[in-house]
Amino acid sequence: MPTKKTAETKETAPLTPEVNEAAPKAAEKTAAEKKPAAKKPAAKKAAPKKDKAAEKVAEAPVQPAEQPVEAPAAPAAPAMPEPRRSVAFIGSECYPFVKTGGLGDVMYALPKALIAQNCDVKVILPRYKCIPQKYQDKMVFRGDFSMDLTADGRRYYVGIMEYVWDGVVYDFIDNEEFFSWGNPYTNLVDDIPKFCYFAKAALAALNYMNWVPDIIHCHDWQAALVPVFQQAMFQGTPVASAKSVLTIHNLRFQGIYNTQTIKYWTNLPDALFDYAVLKQNWVDANMLKAGLSYASMITTVSHTYAAEIQTPFYGEGLDAHLRYHSGKLRGIVNGIDCQQWDTMTDPLLPVNYGITDVVEKKKADKLALQAALGLEQNENKFVIGLISRLTNQKGLDLINAIMPALMDGNTQVVVLGTGDKEYEDAFRYYENAYKGSVCSNIMYDEGRAHQIYAAADALLVPSLFEPCGLTQLIAMRCGTVPIVRETGGLKDTVQPYNEFTNEGNGFTFDRYEAGLLLDACNRAKTVYFTARDRWDQMVVRDMAKDVSWENSAKQYRDLYLELKP
């Protein structure tokens, strides 16, 4: 984003009025505001009283207030990296409240890992109706206020429901009109207004709570307007001082919609609807593109994907824009939550195992899964798992092309996923065509996923593109050998098996061609059936590989430290 544009924006942006409207004024609710979903009277009294947000700027400390120093304590705990950073995560999903894919995992695990790196983390999420009741019951009303949103000045209710868990503070933005649908994502007609509202409400909520982070870390297009609103409409308020990081988890989804609609739902100044910021083409505006322009730093979830998205093939139409902003673009590979994925303690597994007994005990999980799914029970079958959204991103066309060749009588395939009808139907067909050898679970089921990761010998991830990919990391953690295409995070995390040195973690292929996928599967089968000791050594190597968040969290922390408020 050229600086010139920022200056223009600031000149035309409606600054002060918005600021004050973002501050809580319960008495100002209008008919257009929506009622909160939760009962709140008791808690409401406890909600923090706050004057105009702008007036707080001078008083509000940007850093959390330091504790009064008492007698010097013994240095018992390991030294924490200094200084401390406060971070607000803003995104559209987070395990275990709501998860549709990898973003949900990251929003859950990264804040926890950052706390161990001396960061203070608050996670801001929409309060969807589909969040399980057990979590809804634990949320505490934190306050509410009304906020201007649309071009015609409609005001909307913003409620804040808080839940503190495992050291992380989760603040849910509550508004029945936007979040009472069954799923987090429905269709763009509803999702565009929903996430315009959410991005602005999240910033206003930070001001309301008087919690001004050093860093606002936004995720994907749903939160991409946060840096834009921050600079165009929140100047002079406490949150204006925060630096912003925008992480691309999947460039395919950008929040593109017609300009008029986005103008209406954001009320952003006309100057921002040009090619450097929001404009996509003559009719459409692009929310992610605008966020990339305004964010202080852009990250994506692997080094390879960071380079790939600057090329036309992977750039999804934004490659030139990303090349322009490449100076602030960085790749940091995801990790996984090793507590959540621990085969030694996982209560969802029929048989628990660790690195010392994986070879023996994994077979018991395989037999249990075969029995549960109606597959032929035989511990010597080569069981291939596929746990995935069923979309063309995931390389399913290649699998379709090789299915007859893959099913050689010694191989079983277990699929778990939902998605496009054509793929769901194809896997249903294979289940029927290869009875007893293929099982297609067309569903979303956490428990079944755990059982497949533990039971399978190999996991297939032949993606067309893969920003990071978590399934190959989970597979390795469970001692299941990944077979992957060398793209994005798959390339960064799976070291190809080298038969001469007996090194590597999985089997890989480069070009997006069915023959190469089949070849990779056949190489895996050759080692499995003819050199089992080498296979077993690879299983142990995979389990020993560090796929935790610690390393990534350190890199994020260093990035936050670079961004001086």
Per CB under 6 A, residues contacting ligand ADP are: 101-102, 105, 387-389, 416-418, 444-446, 449, 468-471, 474
- Smallest gap from residue 388 Cβ to ligand ADP (A): 6
Rg over alpha carbons for the chain, rounded to the nearest Å, is 25
Kindly tell me which of 212 and 336 has the beta carbon lying closer to ligand ADP.
336
Kindly tell me which of 171 and 466 has the beta carbon lying closer to ligand ADP.
466
- Smallest gap from residue 341 Cβ to ligand ADP (A): 9
Kindly tell me which of 214 and 220 has the beta carbon lying closer to ligand ADP.
220
User: Alpha-carbon distance 277 to 188, whole Å?
Assistant: 20
- Smallest gap from residue 171 Cβ to ligand ADP (A): 24
> Is the Cβ–Cβ distance between 225 and 195 less than 8 Å?
yes
**Which among 296, 322, 298, 327 has a CA at the least distance from the CA of 308?**
322
**Which among 229, 313, 318 has a CA at the least distance from the CA of 281?**
318
Beta bridge partners of 482: 459
User: Alpha-carbon distance 261 to 271, whole Å?
Assistant: 16
Structure tokens at 501: 């040195």
Q: Which residues contact 232 (CB under 8 A, 6 or more apart)?
A: 9, 10, 13, 268, 269, 272
Kindly tell me which of 201 and 474 has the beta carbon lying closer to ligand ADP.
474
Q: How many CB atoms lie within 10 A of CB 229?
A: 26
- Smallest gap from residue 399 Cβ to ligand ADP (A): 15
Kindly tell me which of 299 and 471 has the beta carbon lying closer to ligand ADP.
471
**Burial degree of 19 (CB within 10 A; 0-12, 13-18, 19+):** buried
Phi and psi for 459 in degrees, rounded to 5?
A: -120, 130
- Smallest gap from residue 99 Cβ to ligand ADP (A): 7
DSSP result, 309-322: TTSTTTSTT-HHHH
Kindly tell me which of 362 and 450 has the beta carbon lying closer to ligand ADP.
450
**Which among 403, 427, 432 has a CA at the least distance from the CA of 415?**
427
- Smallest gap from residue 445 Cβ to ligand ADP (A): 5
- Smallest gap from residue 428 Cβ to ligand ADP (A): 14
Kindly tell me which of 468 and 559 has the beta carbon lying closer to ligand ADP.
468
Indicate the residue whose CB is closest to ligand ADP: 102
- Smallest gap from residue 482 Cβ to ligand ADP (A): 11
User: Alpha-carbon distance 300 to 280, whole Å?
Assistant: 21
Kindly tell me which of 192 and 459 has the beta carbon lying closer to ligand ADP.
459
